[in-house]
Amino acid sequence: MPAAVTIKTLIVDDQQTMRSLIRTSLHALGITQTREAPDGEEALRNLLSAPVNLVITDFNMPKLDGLGLLRAIRAHGPTSKTAVIMLTGRADRELVQRAVQFGVNNYLVKPFTTQTLKEKIEAVFGPLT
Amino acid sequence: MDPFESIKQTFFQECDELLTDAEQGLLAMEAGDADGETINAVFRAVHSVKGGAGAFGLEDLIRFAHVFETVMDDLRSGKMELTDEVAKTLLRAIDVLADHVAAARDGGAVDEGRSAPILSEMKALIGGEGLDDDDLGGDEDFGFVPMTVAIEGDDAPAFDPPALDESPAAFEPMADLAAEPASGARVWRIGFAPKSEMYAKANESGLVLRELARLGEMDVKLDADALPPLDQLSAETAYLHWTVLLTTEADEATIREVFEFVEDDCVLTIEPADGQASPPPPSSDLSDDALAAASADAPLDIAALLARVAGEAPTSEAAREPASAPEPPADLDVAALIAKAQAPIAPAAPKVEAAPVAKAAPPAGSSQAITPTATIRVDLDRVDRLINAVGELVIQQAMLSQQVMESGLARSSNVALGLEDLELLTREIQDSVMAIRAQPVKSVFQRMPRLAREVADMTGKRVKLVMEGEGTEVDKTVIERLTDPITHMLRNAIDHGLEDPEGRIAAGKPAEGVVRLRALHRGGRIVIELQDDGRGINRPRVRGIAVERGLISEDAVLSDEEIDNLIFQPGFSTAETISDISGRGVGMDVVRRSIQGLGGRITISSEPGKGSKFTMSLPLTLAVLDGMVVTAAEQTLVAPLSAIIESLTPRAEDVHFVGGKDAVIRIRETFVPLIDVGVALGFRETALPPGQGVAVLVESEGGGKAALLVEAIQGQRQVVIKSLEANYQQIDGIAAATILGDGRVALILDVDALVTTQHRRKPAPRAEKRMAG
């Protein structure tokens, strides 16, 4: 049962709006250690310099997309055990299946509520305190 | 501000960017030079708009964006062919999408008359698939259980060695196995033997089992036989497996879904409880871990890491799921992504590493990476302060040079040479500082395609807008004031310039008219050209109207060029019926005035039947002025060069007095008012006697011409504009001030005010009116 405040999170989305929304929701859940990156590449660089517990990433992004990021995270020893929650649109069932192959921990359909986000995170880490 | 509200504002700002990107992508698609990435970029933009709209509950916007997105998705996947018609529909759709965004932002409503038809068109394109209302938004449960992770303390990312996992304590054995199964319930025997890969992906068996427990009552048996003595225990290896007896009404598929995230990385058997199968032994396959361990020591080189993922992906994928794993489509190919990402990430990457990546890359060309330019946002005030300071520097430098010259130092002296270097440096600094304020005209140009489409729709004309030189840079203030004139001219070009499709075909032209909007730098100014291939100026008609409106006399002799330029006269309109589109005939007059307000000029050239071309020439900045330094009544004054047509020495016999008082001068058969600047500004009482001084022929913003009489012309110079209002007060006839090289303040003439004042005092004769003789 991890304390929310201990979960270091990296938010990856090419849209500032989405990043802000996720951040706001996370903060509301007590997850205050958040960082942000606008694309997979930047996220990877960020992760390599300072690891996190959780990556919440969009799928469709310029440069390196969510799947690419996921694969890179899993392939690199120090980051391979980072939890990854993928953001998807409704139409992305195939994508979710591919993400599962590459080892995603959960998914989150846009748009989402703070409550949904909480459920998804708790499904990965167990109940937040 | 409410944080949510502030995010919403961010969203709308982002929408503007997204819409612009999407429109540009669509234009490329229409032009037929769009690759998969372009289509995907449009998809992404529309998708992002929808995503944000969903977060803020903007229903209309979501609905429209959703259909749009579906079309883009079909195009992207190749399900739909990109035809010219599709591209055109989408271009109109992006306009409506922009309207929806605007409506959501400003609280208005979208014109359903515009929105609904396009929505139906798009729905027709995708055959109405997947468009149920409940298809929008909301969380869909794909029916699998998340992979779980444990967190330990503050150290990220911590991970529990699977063999020592305590979490199974979280679910107590359900003892009531003996109890009667509920009606329809069955008992399943589930063998669950995680491989080490499952843990390597940050999953936890305990949480998977807990998820399973939600399906019904279960009895869990842990098999720890494979667990070696402690000294042989490897934290990376999976030793445990479980046998679960689950009593549930759920079918096998539902049970299997619980393992959806981990199925590839465990040995899973699900069978009715009377079956004989026992769980298979746990795997000790360590390949991924070995890889991970090896990489742990590797330097943090992202390019290398990405390259390795690319190289490793196919094999590991094959190993993981030999038959059923679909090959990711080309647009998701990691190798291609890496090739694209390579340049920005590791420009100095060692060749050894770069080589395999290059090999993995698709044919060069498509993968040309553009290094993003790093930018910073600076408050405009700071930039202006800097520009001001540099202005002072330029003046100081000029003063210093002049004093050194006057002190009689030889040109070859070290001081003089040093000053020359200083002058060069100063100019360079000035140019660089001006460049900070410079922006590409793209921000103005990018609004034009939509405008062209709208005007074409309203007038029933067909038009293709070709834009060139969007990257041409010009000062921010100039850009801000360019939108209106260009908008007006473009409307005019389509509304008045182009013929309707039938007319064009009859004239032997393609039905679709072409309007070219072009920006370029020429001679330290920016030139903007707007050219159409329409019918050109109808000179007899223009002339007729001008006579009718009293702009020219009936027997005036005008060159073709002069007739063409009559359309810039106030109140002139050639539209047979006044249309909503191009206004009420004030258009070109307003255009000219705003261009002149920027220190620019506008001219037209036209060829009947072939089209017209408007050329605007503008200064690159409003902080510096190209001026003509003149002397009047012993004062040094500066006349803006942009207003000056020519200068001449008046002969006494050319100067006439109207009503014995107001002077006019005859310049090549035209009479224009002769304004003595010294008198007009109150420096002296009486004008220079006829035949003395120099007359500078100027054209005011209002279009009126006049000759300014001064004693002498000193020369042409670039001057830094200083506001007179800010430093002193406003003075009629004076636009601003500047400081000359010798330290003297020189006033910059407000040509427009001088000419208008003169006109007010003396209504006749009209500057443009030709007099017989």
Instruction: Flag if A24 and B139 touch (Cβ within 8 Å).
Output: no
Instruction: Flag if A24 and B151 touch (Cβ within 8 Å).
Output: no
Question: In the A/B pair of chains, how many CB contacts fall below 8 A?
Answer: 211
Strand bridging mode A54-58 / A83-88: parallel
Omega into B280 within 30° of 0, i.e. cis? no
Amino acid B208: pLDDT: 81
Higher pLDDT, B280 or B40: B40
Residues of B in contact with A111 (CB under 8 A): 51, 54-55, 137
Q: Identify the closest residue of chain B to A53 by CA–CA distance.
A: B157
The Cα–Cα gap between B403 and B636 comes to 18
Instruction: Flag if B14 and A17 touch (Cβ within 8 Å).
Output: yes
| Mean pLDDT, rounded, for B687-701 | 83
B342 and A CB contact within 8 Å: no
CATH number of B624-761: 2.40.50.180
Instruction: Flag if A82 and B148 touch (Cβ within 8 Å).
Output: no
By the 8 A CB rule, do B201 and A74 touch? yes
Is residue B575 predicted with pLDDT exceeding 70? Answer: no
CB proximity list for A47: less than 8 A, separation 6 or greater: A10, A55, A73, A79, A82
Return the closest-CA partner of residue B71 out of B104, B114, B22, B33: B22
Instruction: Flag if B151 and A103 touch (Cβ within 8 Å).
Output: no
Does domain B167-287 match CATH 3.40.50.300?
Answer: no
Residues of A in contact with B170 (CB under 8 A): 126
Amino acid B531: pLDDT: 93
Q: Identify which of B144, B170, B200 has the shortest CB distance to residue A81.
A: B200
B68 and A CB contact within 8 Å: no
Residues of B in contact with A71 (CB under 8 A): 309, 313, 334
Mean pLDDT computed over every residue of chain A: 86
Q: Which of residues 188-217 of B touch A (CB under 8 A)?
A: 199-203, 207, 211
Give the 3-state DSSP-derived string for B99-165, with helices as H, strands as E and coil as C.
HHHHHHHHCCCCCHHHHHHHHHHHHHHCCCCCCCHHHCCCCCCCCCCCCCCCCCCCCCCCCCCHHHC
Q: In 10 A of CB B701, how many CB atoms?
A: 21
Q: Which of residues 13-42 of B touch A (CB under 8 A)?
A: 14, 18, 40-41
Residues of B in contact with A18 (CB under 8 A): 48, 51-52, 55
The Cα–Cα gap between B404 and B422 comes to 13
CB proximity list for B702: less than 8 A, separation 6 or greater: B570, B593, B752, B755, B756
B137 and A CB contact within 8 Å: yes
R_g of chain B computed on alpha carbons: 38
Residues of A in contact with B146 (CB under 8 A): 105-106, 120, 123-124
Q: DSSP letters along chain A, please? A: ---GGG--EEEE-S-HHHHHHHHHHHHHTT---EEEESSHHHHHHHHHHS--SEEEEESS-SSS-HHHHHHHHHHSGGGTT-EEEEEE-TT-HHHHHHHHHTT--EEEESS--HHHHHHHHHHHH-S--
pLDDT tens, residue by residue, B517-545: 999 887 667 889 999 998 888 888 888 88
**ipTM for this prediction:** 0.77
In which band, very low, low, confident or very high, does the pLDDT at B296 lie, cut at 50, 70 and 90?
A: very low
Return the closest-CA partner of residue B489 out of B512, B523, B513, B455: B455
Residues of B in contact with A115 (CB under 8 A): none
DSSP bridge partners of B662:
B658
Is residue B368 predicted with pLDDT exceeding 90? Answer: no
Percentage helix, strand, coil for chain B under 3-state DSSP, each rounded to 5: 45, 20, 35
Is residue B320 predicted with pLDDT exceeding 70? Answer: no
3-state secondary structure at position B266: strand
Amino acid B210: pLDDT: 79
Residues of A in contact with B166 (CB under 8 A): none
Domain ranges for chain B, please list them. Answer: 3-135, 167-287, 298-360, 380-439, 441-619, 624-761
| Mean pLDDT, rounded, for B119-146 | 62
CATH number of B3-135: 1.20.120.160
Place of tokens 């004054």: B637
Amino acid B254: pLDDT: 81
Higher pLDDT, B162 or B153: B153
B360 and A CB contact within 8 Å: no
Higher pLDDT, B489 or B669: B489
Is residue B343 predicted with pLDDT exceeding 50? Answer: no
Higher pLDDT, B464 or B232: B464
Is residue B770 predicted with pLDDT exceeding 90? Answer: no
Higher pLDDT, A65 or B281: A65
CATH topology of domain A4-120: Rossmann fold (3.40.50)
Instruction: Flag if A72 and B309 touch (Cβ within 8 Å).
Output: yes
B4 and A CB contact within 8 Å: yes
Higher pLDDT, A13 or B320: A13
Residue from A46, A104, A124 to probe the interface with B (highest B Cβ count within 10 Å): A124
Amino acid B637: pLDDT: 93
* Rounded percentage of chain B residues whose pLDDT exceeds 70: 74
| Mean pLDDT, rounded, for B679-684 | 87
Instruction: Flag if B151 and A68 touch (Cβ within 8 Å).
Output: no
pLDDT tens, residue by residue, B68-114: 988 988 888 888 888 888 888 898 899 889 988 988 888 878 888 88
Residue from B139, B148, B199, B264 to probe the interface with A (highest A Cβ count within 10 Å): B139
By the 8 A CB rule, do B651 and B606 touch? no
Place of tokens 């299946």: A97
Torsion region of B575: left, alpha or beta (phi above 0 gives left; psi -120 to 50 gives alpha): beta
Q: Which of residues 316-335 of B touch A (CB under 8 A)?
A: 317, 320-321, 325-326, 328, 332, 334
CB burial of residue B153 (10 Å; 0-12, 13-18, 19+): exposed
Amino acid A57: pLDDT: 93
Instruction: Flag if A21 and B7 touch (Cβ within 8 Å).
Output: yes
Amino acid B516: pLDDT: 94
In which band, very low, low, confident or very high, does the pLDDT at B127 lie, cut at 50, 70 and 90?
A: confident
The Cα–Cα gap between B107 and B59 comes to 12
pLDDT tens, residue by residue, B372-421: 456 777 787 888 788 878 877 887 887 788 788 788 887 788 888 888 88
Instruction: Flag if B157 and A107 touch (Cβ within 8 Å).
Output: no
Residues of A in contact with B320 (CB under 8 A): 101
Residues of A in contact with B292 (CB under 8 A): 75-77, 80
Q: Identify which of B44, B55, B340 has the shortest CB distance to residue A60.
A: B44
Residues of A in contact with B47 (CB under 8 A): 60, 89
In which band, very low, low, confident or very high, does the pLDDT at B181 lie, cut at 50, 70 and 90?
A: very low
**Of the candidate ranges A20-34, B200-214, B493-507, the one whose mean pLDDT is the lowest:** B200-214
CB proximity list for B630: less than 8 A, separation 6 or greater: B636, B637, B638, B639, B677, B694, B696, B708, B710, B711, B712, B713, B714
Amino acid B322: pLDDT: 36
Residue type, A49: S
Residue ranges of E strands in B178-240: 186-194, 216-223
Strand bridging mode A106-109 / A83-88: parallel
Q: Identify which of A6, A18, A49 has the shortest CB distance to residue B52.
A: A18
Instruction: Flag if B341 and A111 touch (Cβ within 8 Å).
Output: no
By the 8 A CB rule, do A68 and A55 touch? no
CATH topology of domain B441-619: Heat Shock Protein 90 (3.30.565)
| Mean pLDDT, rounded, for A3-15 | 88
Residues of B in contact with A7 (CB under 8 A): 151
| Cβ-defined contacts of B349-355 (< 8 Å, 24+) | B349/B301, B349/B303, B349/B304, B353/B301, B353/B303, B353/B304, B353/B307, B354/B303
Instruction: Flag if B156 and A63 touch (Cβ within 8 Å).
Output: no
Amino acid B224: pLDDT: 79
The Cα–Cα gap between B313 and B360 comes to 12
Is residue B219 predicted with pLDDT exceeding 60? Answer: yes
Instruction: Flag if A16 and B55 touch (Cβ within 8 Å).
Output: no
The Cα–Cα gap between B693 and B686 comes to 14
CA distance A11 to chain B (A): 15
Q: DSSP letters along B415-475, please? A: HHHHHHHHHHHHHHHHHHHHHHHEEETHHHHTTHHHHHHHHHHHHT--EEEEEE-TT-EEE
Instruction: Flag if A17 and B157 touch (Cβ within 8 Å).
Output: no
Q: Identify which of B159, B261, B332 has the shortest CB distance to residue A100.
A: B261
Instruction: Flag if B14 and A16 touch (Cβ within 8 Å).
Output: yes
Enter the tokens of residue B742.
Answer: 């010798």
B369 and A CB contact within 8 Å: no
Q: Identify which of A45, A51, A100 has the shortest CB distance to residue B156.
A: A51
| Mean pLDDT, rounded, for B207-218 | 80
CB burial of residue B251 (10 Å; 0-12, 13-18, 19+): exposed
Domain ranges for chain A, please list them. Answer: 4-120
Enter the tokens of residue A66.
Answer: 């969510």
3-state secondary structure at position B697: strand
CA atoms lying within 13 Å on the CB side of residue A2: 30
Residues of B in contact with A80 (CB under 8 A): 200-202, 288, 292
| Mean pLDDT, rounded, for B587-610 | 80
The Cα–Cα gap between A41 and A72 comes to 10
**DSSP symbol at B569:** S
Q: Identify the closest residue of chain B to A61 by CA–CA distance.
A: B44
Amino acid B142: pLDDT: 54
| Mean pLDDT, rounded, for A39-61 | 89
pLDDT tens, residue by residue, B6-26: 888 888 888 888 888 888 888
Helices A40-49 and B302-320, axial angle in degrees (round to 10): 100
Mean pLDDT computed over every residue of chain B: 74
